[in-house]
Amino acid sequence: MPGPTVTFLGGVREIGGNKILVEDGPERILFDFGPSFTPRYDEFYLNYLQPRSTSPIKDLLEFDLIPRVPGLYSREALHGADLEYEAPRIHAVFLTHAHYDHAGYLKYLDPDIPVYLGSDTKVLLDAIQSSGTTSYGSHPWNLLSAPAPVRLGNIEVVPHPVDHSIPGAYGYLVRTSEGTIAYTGDFRKHGPRAGLTESFLEAAAKEEPRAFITEGTRVGPDPRRNFTEDSVRSEVDHVLEATSDLVLGTCYPRDIDRISTLYQAARTAGRSFVVSLKTAFLLTSVAGRPGFPPVPQPGQSPDLLVYGRPKRRYYKWEEPFLEGAVDADYVRANGKRLFLMLEMMHFPELIDLRPPKGSPFVYSMSEPFSEEDLEAEVFQHWLDHFGLRKHSLHASGHCSGPELLAIAHRLQPTTTYPIHTEHPDEFHPKGTHVVSPEKGVAYPVR
């Protein structure tokens, strides 16, 4: 019988879209299953231009945006595709975390394939699904209790929580018949849960891994400043101290650490923090749940308000937050005492909010990957129109290039595979053989 192999079906020379197949004898296990952020998916499908719900796999296969793997997809998703339905030939899918580029294709899986994930990740997927248009499908969900190993035939998977820009992120040690594969998922060393990353790396080093599969988001050109969560906090403190006008801001909708950081900064500055209905729902969904840091809770935490954006009809999940929600009139009258979060898609609210010219806008997300980013241009047009001053203050969810070099050097794996990066060829750690993987090639673990 051939020895264990690892095959990269996505995340190859692209950010996101990790789909890693580990095979050992009859066992076939997939790690992560989402679309890539840049550049492939967006080259064909953008905003409302999306695969048809009646034939999604056909529409994704057309542009090689999803792997052609028999025994993986549901009969329904395969409708119209030139890939025949087969009973499952993949035995499990393990998720590292709830970001869309890792979990977004789950809905296409055969519903009999079990999905393994942290209970915290499951809480997040449920919250995202209940308050938006994203669906993850129904599966046999298996909740991990790290670091208890999961055995599937020849393969043993050991989950380890790591720090990332969303709670509930995991790295995995995958023990095969020829040695261990260490897979980082997305991770960082400079966030509030840096200790988790360190424990994972310690455990990984002990295994003397044969293969090290590392994310490399920030490998290569990386113009971003290496803020920590604490330095974001102190910079935001400065912005809040320096103005007596309304302060606006935006961050990734699931970056719970950042939401907490900005909330604390608002309180220290004697301001109330104003969140969207969706953020209010998310905070309520995760508050007090195992695996989550303490979060401000709408209706309970002091100095926390909800902005009730006017709509013709509200969803059921929005209703509990409408009582006591504030509106544009309130924000205009009390702007000096508020720090209001506003997602770009809700920018038309600015037409009613009329922030004073020169008001600060805290942009707490990563800068666009490309310079010709249309969304970034539109964003700037709105800021210019209303005379808002942008402050880019963000701590990345990813390790820096130099940090990754040190980690690869420390683990001393036989082979290192950089994925989830546009620049795998620029990763040269000392003392380990680096392979910039090709999509679909089965690399032996040895």
Q: What is the 3-state secondary structure (H, E, C) of 15-60?
A: EECCEEEEEECCEEEEECCCCEEECHHHHHCECCECCCCCCHHHHH
- x-or-dash pattern for Zn ion, window 180-219, by CB under 5 A? ------x---------------------------------
d(CA 92, CA 115): 6
Choose the binding region for Zn ion from 96-104, 108-116, 221-229, 345-353 (rule: CB under 5 A): 96-104
Helix (H, G, I), strand (E, B) or coil at 136: coil
d(CA 73, CA 117): 19
Q: Which residues, in sequence order, are bridge partners of residue 29?
A: 22, 92
State which of positions 148-187 bind Zn ion (CB under 5 A).
186
CB of residue 16 vs Zn ion: minimum separation in angstroms? 8
For CA atoms 119, 120, 124, 125, give the dihedral sign. negative
Nearest to 141 by CA among 119, 171, 167, 170: 119
CB of 162 to Zn ion, least distance (A): 11
Contact range with Zn ion by CB under 5 A, out of 78-86, 98-106, 279-287, 364-372: 98-106
In angstroms, what is the minimal distance from the CB of 188 to Zn ion?
A: 10
Q: Which stretch binds Zn ion (CB under 5 A): 93-101, 321-329, 365-373, 416-424?
A: 93-101
> Is 28 a residue that touches Zn ion (CB under 5 A)?
no
101 vs 349, beta carbon nearer Zn ion: 101
Residue 255 engages Zn ion in binding (rule: CB under 5 A)? no
Cα–Cα distance measured from residue 106 to residue 137, given in angstroms and rounded to the nearest whole number: 7
Measured between alpha carbons, how far is 186 from 296 in angstroms, rounded to an integer?
25
Closest to Zn ion by CB, 99 or 175: 99
Cβ distance to Zn ion smaller for residue 5 or 214: 214
How near is the Cβ of 371 to Zn ion at its closest, in Å?
23
Q: Of 110 and 186, which has the nearer Cβ to Zn ion?
A: 186
| Distance in Å, CB of 164 to Zn ion, minimum | 6
Nearer to Zn ion, 99 or 258 (CB): 99
Least CB distance to Zn ion at residue 100 (A): 9
Name the one range near Zn ion by CB under 5 A: 99-107, 231-239, 358-366, 434-442: 99-107
What is the residue type of 423?
A: H
Residue 163 Cβ vs Zn ion, minimum distance, rounded to whole Å: 11
Distance spanning both ends of the chain, measured CA to CA:
15
CB of 257 to Zn ion, least distance (A): 13
**Of 51 and 397, which has the nearer Cβ to Zn ion?**
397
Min dist CB 77 to Zn ion, Å, is: 24
What six digits make up the tokens of 273?
A: 């923090």
Query: Does 349 interact with Zn ion (rule: CB under 5 A)?
Result: no
Q: Which is nearer to Zn ion, 99 or 309 (CB)?
A: 99
Report the alpha-carbon distance of residue 157 to residue 32 in Å, rounded: 14
C-beta closer to Zn ion: residue 44 or 100: 100
In the structure encoding, which two tokens stand for residue 438, read together? 């090709």
Retrieve residue 384's tokens. 């210019």
Q: Using an 8 Å Cβ cutoff, are 412 and 432 in contact? A: yes
Q: Which of 58, 99, 122, 189 binds Zn ion (CB under 5 A)?
A: 99
Cβ-based neighbours of 389, under 8 Å, separated by 6 or more: 358, 359, 360, 361, 383
Give the nearer residue to Zn ion in terms of CB position, either 100 or 443. Answer: 100
For the CB of residue 166, give the shortest distance to Zn ion in the complex, in Å: 6
Show contacts with Zn ion in window 261-320 (CB under 5 A): none
CA distances (Å), origin 122, targets 19, 103, 104, 377: 19, 11, 13, 35
8 A C-beta contact, residue 9 and residue 40: no
Size of the site for Zn ion (CB under 5 A): 2
- Residues of the shown chain interacting with Zn ion in the complex, contacts defined by CB under 5 A: 99, 186
